[in-house]
Chains A and B, each alone.
Chain A
């Protein structure tokens, strides 16, 4: 494609290259190195993305005999009037905020804790691997066992504490969304914690000590020393977490499959059903476009944050 012509020599920060063929490969060599990864990316990632945008402007359906027609913005205007879509969109935002915010706050608290010289913090580190490494499907199954109305540990514990007579958490209209949000927080917290902890460990200790000598209290020290140091990491992690949560599928698919009565039907579940249960490819693609648009805004914020972070370094 046209990008072929745009490969340039390395930028001018290192002029006068040494002997011919030495050092990092120049333009032609670079092509051979880049092509094996670039081709699959273009064919299976960038291509489908553009194809998907194109599909959103058609009435494509699965298993239909008549040819697919161009329908312009029809899918989008249909989406605007689709209350089920708006419900799932609202639930998706609720879920993404509901997971990302506690996730961040808990992870920050924990990272500050693990940055202290505490015994057993190795145990926390070791345990943090569990939610992180588990397949999402298993996380869902595991929490279904925890929430199980009869054989679950949650109701059992509540009963032992004399609190209520047990509920069916995942099928209750009021409890389903909070119940899946707890799982979302559990699943993503370790990753956030570890990232924040790594940020904390780059904070110069002397600054802390100097601030403490000046009589700054814990909160002041946090605000003036710790927070500025970890802000770029915090921003990046939060933005990515939000986007990932907004896009999530497997966890809720396994926990509730969108139920009860659509109370946990995240946008991805809605789009999946439209596309692969009802065969409405064009409509589902339009929905994907809307999600891309929302995420692009967030991504722009994240990128601005990254650039700022880079400036400060």
Chain B
């Protein structure tokens, strides 16, 4: 179909407006992170720092225990991602291949859990973990993140399992392979890319999570990166802008990197889950 010239121009204009809307807050964050205090206090803030500096980054590490927080986040997110994938994959397999009551109930739960208001779950979780002495303990947070990552992990994985042709499994069965053998040596290898993508997504989810960490991790030594970031805002919201921007920028990098790799796969998973 042909599009007239003015229409084309309009389309490019709209695209430009969108790109600007999408990019400018992030560019401003980056710009702020590299500005010396003098330029931050200037009455005429500029887009590109005239005198770029890394001082904000150094200061950010001095002001708050960023490294320890990043370590906590890393430990929690990696553990949660690995555990979630390990336990979700077999369940997703059953959900994809069987039409039993259980798999239907699980599918229903996956949909419903997308809509949980966390406040109704967090108070009991807080009480349960308190009784188990797991408040302020990373294992408690890991457990919560595993369950929290499960619905979407199941959703993605069910899609991947469905993409593996049944015939391959049946052929192996005819050759006399047992059920476990088939799972391990036929299905699992074909699922590997999907499992990796799901794990990475679970990692990002846990790395970014704030609400549970805020409620469950009270002592600063145990807090994760997003919670520590809010400390930069100060009590009255009077923030030291440079270090704040620097720390926020650093905290985003891992998610951005991972997401740029798996973005396409997630879209597929999201859509498959949303309409099928």
Q: Which residues of A contact B (CB under 8 A)?
A: 3, 6-11, 13, 18-19, 21-25, 27, 29-30, 32-34, 36-38, 40-41, 44-49, 51-53, 55, 106, 109-110, 113, 116, 118, 120-121, 123-124, 126-138, 141-146, 148, 150-153, 156, 186, 189-191, 194-195, 198-199, 208-209, 212, 232-233, 236-237, 240, 243-244, 246-247, 249-250, 253-254, 257, 267-268, 271-272, 275-276, 281, 284-285, 287-289, 291-292, 295-296, 298-299, 303, 306, 309-310, 313
Cβ-defined contact, A135 with B120, below 8 A: no
Judge whether A19 and B275 touch: CB under 8 Å: no
Contact of B1 (CB < 8 Å), options: A3, A10, A47, A212: A212
For residue A306, which residues in chain B have a CB less than 8 angstroms away from its CB? 111, 274-275
Please state if B124 and A131 are interface contacts (CB–CB under 8 Å). Answer: no
Chain B residue at minimum C-beta to C-beta distance from A148 = B241
A218 to chain B, nearest CB (A): 9
CA distance A48 to B127 in the complex (A): 9
Q: Which residues of B contact A (CB under 8 A)?
A: 1, 3, 11-12, 14-15, 18-19, 21-26, 28-29, 32, 40-41, 43-45, 47, 86-88, 90-91, 93-94, 97-102, 105-106, 109, 111-128, 143-144, 146-147, 150, 154, 169-170, 173-174, 176-179, 182-183, 204, 207-211, 215, 225-227, 229-230, 232-233, 237, 239, 241, 244-245, 248-249, 251-252, 255-256, 258-260, 263, 267-268, 270-271, 274-276
Q: How distant is B72 from chain A, measured CB to nearest CB, in Å?
A: 14
When distances are taken between beta carbons in the complex, the residues of chain A under 8 Å from B255 are: 133-135
Which B residues are in CB contact (< 8 Å) with A303?
111
Shortest distance in angstroms between B143's beta carbon and chain A's nearest beta carbon? 6
Chain B neighbourhood of A295, CB < 8 A: 115, 117
Q: Is the CB of B173 within 8 A of A19?
A: yes
In the complex, chain B residues whose CB is within 8 Å of the CB of A3: 102, 105
A58 to B125, CA, bound (A): 16
Q: Are A21 and B87 in contact (CB under 8 A)?
A: no
Contact assessment for A145 and B32 in the assembled complex, using a CB-CB cutoff below 8 Å: yes
Taken together as a complex, chains A and B put the C-alpha atoms of A113 and B17 apart, in Å, by 12
By a CB distance below 8 angstroms, the chain B residues around A198 are 267-268, 271
Partner of A10 from B97, B226, B232, B233 at Cβ < 8 Å:
B97
Q: How far is the CA of A158 from the CA of B140 in the complex (A)?
A: 47
Shortest CB–CB separation between residue A168 and chain B, in angstroms? 11
A-B contact pairs, 21 of them (CB 8 A): A9-B100, A24-B97, A36-B86, A36-B90, A46-B109, A48-B128, A49-B120, A113-B11, A124-B22, A137-B248, A138-B29, A141-B229, A156-B44, A198-B267, A246-B117, A249-B211, A271-B117, A272-B215, A281-B127, A284-B119, A295-B117
C-alpha spacing A270/B276, complex, angstroms: 35
Given contacts A30-B94, A208-B1, A249-B118, contact A152 B45 (CB under 8 A): yes
A233 CA / B229 CA spacing, docked (Å): 36
**Interface contact tally, CB-CB below 8 A:** 339
Assess A24 versus B98: contact at CB under 8 Å? Given A142-B26, A292-B120: yes
A139–B126 Cα distance when bound, in Å, is 27
B248 touches A8 (CB 8 A): no
Chain B residues whose CB sits within 8 angstroms of the CB of A133 once the complex forms: 204, 208, 252, 255-256, 258-260
Given the contacts A6-B101, A30-B94, A153 and B28 also touching, CB distance less than 8 Å: yes
Report the bound CA distance from A37 to B158 in whole Å.
14
Contact between B22 and A135, CB atoms less than 8 A apart:
no
Q: Which residues of A contact B91 (CB under 8 A)?
A: 33-34, 36-38
Interchain CB contact (< 8 A) of B14 among A51, A113, A199: A113
Asked whether B150 lies within 8 Å of A130 as measured between CB atoms, the reply is: no
Shortest beta-carbon distance from A139 to chain B in Å: 8
From B208, which residue of chain A is reached at the shortest CB distance? A135
B164 CB to nearest chain A CB (Å): 11
Most interface-central of B93, B101, B147 (chain A CB within 10 A): B147
Q: A52-B124, A124-B22, A254-B233 are in contact. Are A36 and B87 (CB under 8 A)?
A: yes
